[in-house]
Amino acid sequence: MPRLSSLAQDLTTETAFSVLAVARSLKASGKEVVELEIGDSPFPSTPHAKEAGIEAIRANRTGYCPSLGLPELRRAAAAFVGREFGIEASADHVVVASGAKPFETYFAEALLEPDDGVLIFGPQFPTYVPNLRRVGARPVLVPLRAEDRFRPQAKQIATFLRDDPKPRAIFLNSPHNPTGGVATAEDLDAIADIVRGTDLVVLSDEPYCHMVWEGTHESLLARPGMMDHVVAAYTMSKSYSMSGWRAGFAVAHPEVVQAMGKLINTSASCCPPFVQLGAVAALEQDSETRDDYMGRFRRKVERLSDGLSTIEGVAVSRPAGTFYVFPDVREICNRLGLTSHGLAMYLLEGADDGFGVACLGGECFGPAGAGFLRFSCAEPDEAIDRALAFLPEALRRADHVRRYRDQHPEHVLTEPYSG
């Protein structure tokens, strides 16, 4: 067997896709599964995006294009962030990639050195830490708290800047996956005041920018002086239901944009031009469909969170943003003797032979998520209702729980959750 690098051996992945594989395997064997595990849209890609992409293929826009992105998409993206979020940017501030996720890697490669400290608010998106490991940067995890509505606190950044031996960067995700927390304008003003004038750089990961249910979306990059500090990443996946297209862009200082262009040039070459032309059409013509989709998502989130709140042992409130609900299930885990990931897998695999619910244990998002579950809302309303009706019954099946614990000792909770 070939000898793998230490990076390849140690690299962790996004657990949602592992649970997705189990769910799809069970469905293929005949089990009915409500899939609330993956953060994907149940809606079709927006109409002008589809037509533009098809027309671009017919027009043979299928060759290479500039690594920084097509000029028309860079212009459209700059206009979009100015119009939507008050960010003053031109095409020179925009770089295009295959979704928002690659910018985690490009940010790390362009701006970080080995042993640089990077503040991450946990529970966190699972690929943040692996992408820092690629360059030898050092993740510094600080917990978000339910009592703060899972909003990042400026004082946590001040402590990091004061106490870390080599503070360099922050990963800021708002609206926040997995908790649904949303940073307010006041939060971001306070963070900007700390960052301004320092050597800190920030990856502002904003894929859920149109899924804000309380207030409006705010970007750190819109604050004065932040263009020297912030890379703001956006995707077409969530707002425009274009996850499989793999299209996204970042807004940053032109020198950072040029550096990321080199990284794209030496890895992916470019994002496909017909995909980019679909993204242009979405940004310029599909806001009405997008807003309709966002309204439907909001109603799904309310339906799921309100339903979960009626289940004994579940503590949850409506999230301020995203299409995720992040209930506290520590009481249930302690009673059943299962970790939160174990509870999620029990609901999928062990609670019933013919029916299951796929969700994610909070520890899939780091230690701060232990004792929570993450549900996405990417299923029809009737499927969400079926899942909500099933959960209380599944939690009462003591014999099924015992059997599952016996069969899966790796999911047994050895020490009760506190709090």
DSSP 188-222: HHHHHHHHTTSS-EEEEE-TTTT-BSSS----GGG
User: Residue 291 pLDDT > 80, yes or no?
Assistant: yes
Query: What is d(CA 312, CA 185) in angstroms, rounded to the nearest whole number?
Result: 35
**Confidence check: pLDDT of 14 > 80:** no
CATH of domain 6-43+290-405: 3.90.1150.10
Kindly report, residue by residue over 134-155, the tens digit of the pLDDT: 999 999 999 999 999 999 999 9
Q: Give the pLDDT band (50/70/90) at residue 57.
A: very high
Burial 93-106 (b: 16+ CB within 10 A, else e): bbbbbbbbbbbbbb
pLDDT-based confidence at residue 95 (cuts at 50, 70, 90): very high
CATH 3.90.1150.10-classified regions of the chain: 6-43+290-405
Average pLDDT estimate for 27-55: 95
**Secondary structure percentages of the chain, helix, strand, coil, to 5:** 45, 15, 40
pLDDT above 90: residue 273:
yes
- Cβ neighbours, 10 Å, residue 399: 7
pLDDT tens profile 197-227: 999 999 999 999 999 999 999 999 999 999 9
pLDDT digits (tens, 9 = 90+) for 75-84: 999 999 999 9
Instruction: Look up residue 406 and give its two tokens.
Output: 């016996």
Confidence (pLDDT) at 6: 87
Question: 179's torsion region: left (phi>0), alpha (psi -120 to 50) or beta?
Answer: alpha
Query: Which two structure tokens, joined as six digits, stand for 177?
Result: 């996956």
Mean pLDDT of 111-132: 97
Copy the structure tokens of residue 33: 């599964």
Q: What pLDDT does 11 receive?
A: 79
Query: Which segments of the chain belong to CATH 3.40.640.10?
Result: 47-285
pLDDT digits (tens, 9 = 90+) for 188-201: 999 999 999 999 99
**CB contact burial 35-51 (16+ within 10 A = b; e otherwise):** bbbbbbbbeebbebbbe
Average pLDDT over residues 352-358: 97
Given this model, what pLDDT does residue 268 score?
96
User: What whole-number distance in Å separates Cα of residue 99 and Cα of residue 272?
Assistant: 12
And the tokens for 381? 């309303």
pLDDT at 9 (0 to 100): 86
pLDDT for the residue 144: 97
**Rounded mean pLDDT, 104-109:** 98
Length of the chain: 419
The Cα angle at residue 348 between residues 347 and 352, in degrees rounded to 5: 70
Give the tens place of pLDDT for each residue, 300-342. Answer: 999 999 999 999 999 999 999 999 999 999 999 999 999 999 9
Report the candidate in 95, 76, 136, 66 with the shortest Cα–Cα distance to residue 255.
95
Judge whether residue 256 has pLDDT over 90. yes
Quick one: pLDDT at residue 399? 97
Distance CA 170, CA 199 (A): 11
Q: Which of the four CATH numbers 1.10.275.10, 3.30.450.20, 3.40.640.10, 3.40.50.2300 does domain 47-285 have?
A: 3.40.640.10
Widest pairwise Cα distance in the chain: 62
The DSSP code sequence of 217-268 is ---GGGSTTGGGTEEEEEESTTTTS-GGG--EEEE--HHHHHHHHHHHHTTT
Q: CA 193, CA 186: separation in Å to the nearest integer?
A: 11
Task: Give the mean pLDDT of 370-378.
Answer: 95
What is the rounded average pLDDT of the residues 338-359?
97
Q: pLDDT confidence of 18, banded at 50, 70, 90?
A: confident
